[in-house]
Chains A and B, each alone.
Chain A
Amino acid sequence: MAWSPSEMTLGDQATLFKELAMRLVTFILRRALHSIFVLLGLSVVIFGISRILPGDPARMAVGARAPQWVVDNLRAQMHLDEPLFVQYGYWLADAVQGKFGISLVTRREVAEDIKEFFPATLELALFAGILMGGFGILLGTISAQHKDRWIDNVVRVLSYLGVVTPAFVFAIIFMLVFGYWLKWLPTIGRLSEGLTRPPVITGLMTVDALLAGDLVVFWDALKHLILPAVALAMGGLAQEARITRATMSDNLTKDYIAAERALGIPERVIMGKYLLKPSLIPTVSILGLDFAGTLSSAFLVELIFNWPGISRYGINAMLRKDLNAIAAVILVLGVVFIVVNIIVDIVVAYLDPRIRLSAERSE
Chain B
Amino acid sequence: MVRMDTPPLLEVRDLQVHFKVFGGHLKVLDGVNMIVRAGEKVGLVGESGCGKTTTMKAILRILPQPPAKIVGGQVLFRGQDVLRMRPDELRQIRGRGISMIFQDPTAALNPVFTIGQQLGDVIRYSHRNGRLDARQIQLKALQSLKEVALADPERLLHSYPIQLSGGMRQRVCIAMALATQPELLIADEPGTSLDVTIQDQILRLLHNLVVERNTSIILITHTLGVVREVTDRVYVMYAGSIVESAPTKTLFANPMFPYTRGLMQSVPRLSGGGVAEGIPGRIPNYLHPPSGCRFHPRCPHVMEICRREKPPMFTVGEEHYVACYLYAC
- Contact partner of B113 (CB less than 8 A), chosen from A8, A16, A253, A274, is A274
Q: Is the CB of B177 within 8 A of A3?
A: no
Q: Is the CB of A263 within 8 A of B66?
A: no
Residues of B contacting A9 in the complex (Cβ-Cβ under 8 angstroms): 138, 154, 157
A16 to B91, CA, bound (A): 35
B176, closest chain A residue (CB): A263
Q: Is the CB of A258 within 8 A of B111?
A: no
B92, closest chain A residue (CB): A264
Residues of B contacting A164 in the complex (Cβ-Cβ under 8 angstroms): none
Q: Is the CB of A265 within 8 A of B66?
A: no
- Contact partner of B125 (CB less than 8 A), chosen from A8, A12, A269, A354, is A269
Q: Is the CB of A264 within 8 A of B126?
A: yes
B157, closest chain A residue (CB): A9
Residues of A contacting B228 in the complex (Cβ-Cβ under 8 angstroms): none
Question: Which residues 98-148 in B have Cβ within 8 Å of A in the complex?
Answer: 98-100, 102, 104, 107-114, 118, 121-122, 125-126, 135, 138-139, 142, 146
Q: Is the CB of A353 within 8 A of B112?
A: yes
B15 touches A (CB below 8 Å): no
Q: Beyond A147-B66, A253-B64, A277-B112, is A353–B162 a contact (Cβ under 8 Å)?
A: yes
Q: Which of A5, A12, A148 has the most CB of B within 10 A?
A: A5
Task: Give per-residue flags for A264-304: 1 if the beta carbon is below 8 A from chain B beta carbons, else 0.
Answer: 11110100011001100000000000000000000000000
A261 to B59, CA, bound (A): 12
A291 to B322, CA, bound (A): 65
Q: Is the CB of B110 within 8 A of A5?
A: no
- Contact partner of B135 (CB less than 8 A), chosen from A6, A278, A357, is A6
Q: Is the CB of B99 within 8 A of A278?
A: no
Q: Is the CB of A278 within 8 A of B111?
A: yes
Q: Beyond A264-B91, A265-B121, A269-B121, is A12–B64 a contact (Cβ under 8 Å)?
A: no
A353 to B160, CA, bound (A): 7
A353 to B117, CA, bound (A): 13
A1 to B149, CA, bound (A): 12
A323 to B107, CA, bound (A): 56
B272 touches A (CB below 8 Å): no
A5 to B138, CA, bound (A): 8
Q: Is the CB of B158 within 8 A of A258?
A: no
Q: Is the CB of A256 within 8 A of B109?
A: yes
B180 touches A (CB below 8 Å): yes
Q: Is the CB of B102 within 8 A of A353?
A: no
Q: Beyond A147-B66, A252-B64, is A5–B99 a contact (Cβ under 8 Å)?
A: no
Distance from B94 Cβ to chain A, minimum over Cβ atoms (Å): 4
Distance from B122 Cβ to chain A, minimum over Cβ atoms (Å): 5
Residues of B contacting A353 in the complex (Cβ-Cβ under 8 angstroms): 111-112, 114, 160, 162
A147, closest chain B residue (CB): B66
Q: Is the CB of A261 within 8 A of B62?
A: yes
Q: Is the CB of B108 within 8 A of A256?
A: yes
Residues of A contacting B225 in the complex (Cβ-Cβ under 8 angstroms): none
A277, closest chain B residue (CB): B112
- Contact partner of B102 (CB less than 8 A), chosen from A12, A253, A258, A274, is A258
A260 touches B (CB below 8 Å): yes
Q: Beyond A266-B125, A269-B121, is A277–B113 a contact (Cβ under 8 Å)?
A: yes
Task: Give per-residue flags for A1-22: 1 if the beta carbon is below 8 A from chain B beta carbons, else 0.
Answer: 1010110110010001000000
Question: Which residues 230-272 in A have Cβ within 8 Å of B in the complex?
Answer: 252-256, 258-267, 269
A254 to B57, CA, bound (A): 13
Q: Is the CB of A354 within 8 A of B160?
A: yes
Question: Which residues 54-72 in A have Cβ within 8 Å of B in the complex?
Answer: none
A34 to B306, CA, bound (A): 72
A259 to B139, CA, bound (A): 22
A279, closest chain B residue (CB): B112
Distance from A358 Cβ to chain B, minimum over Cβ atoms (Å): 9
Residues of A contacting B62 in the complex (Cβ-Cβ under 8 angstroms): 258, 261-262
B36 touches A (CB below 8 Å): no
B64, closest chain A residue (CB): A253
Residues of A contacting B180 in the complex (Cβ-Cβ under 8 angstroms): 263-264
Q: Which of A9, A148, A252, A273 has the most CB of B within 10 A?
A: A9
Q: Is the CB of A263 within 8 A of B126?
A: yes
A5 to B142, CA, bound (A): 8
A94 touches B (CB below 8 Å): no
Question: Which residues 147-164 in A have Cβ within 8 Å of B in the complex?
Answer: 147-148
B317 touches A (CB below 8 Å): no
Q: Is the CB of B125 within 8 A of A265?
A: yes
Q: Beyond A262-B99, A267-B87, is A3–B112 a contact (Cβ under 8 Å)?
A: no
Q: Which of B87, B111, B176 has the most CB of A within 10 A?
A: B111
A358, closest chain B residue (CB): B162
A354 to B159, CA, bound (A): 11
Distance from B54 Cβ to chain A, minimum over Cβ atoms (Å): 12
A80 touches B (CB below 8 Å): no
Distance from A233 Cβ to chain B, minimum over Cβ atoms (Å): 27
17 A-B pairs in the complex with CB atoms less than 8 angstroms apart: A6-B135, A253-B64, A254-B107, A255-B102, A258-B102, A260-B110, A261-B60, A263-B95, A263-B180, A264-B91, A265-B121, A266-B91, A278-B112, A353-B162, A354-B160, A354-B162, A357-B160
For the complex of A and B, list the 8 residue pairs with the smallest distance between their C-beta atoms, beginning with the closest: A264-B95, A253-B64, A255-B107, A258-B62, A259-B108, A353-B160, A264-B94, A256-B110
Residues of B at under 8 Å CB distance from A? 57, 60-64, 66-67, 87, 91, 94-96, 98-100, 102, 104, 107-114, 118, 121-122, 125-126, 135, 138-139, 142, 146, 154, 157-158, 160, 162-163, 173, 176-177, 179-180
14 additional contacts, CB 8 Å, given A266-B91, A278-B110? Answer: A5-B139, A12-B154, A252-B64, A255-B104, A258-B108, A259-B109, A261-B62, A262-B62, A263-B180, A264-B126, A269-B121, A278-B112, A352-B111, A354-B160
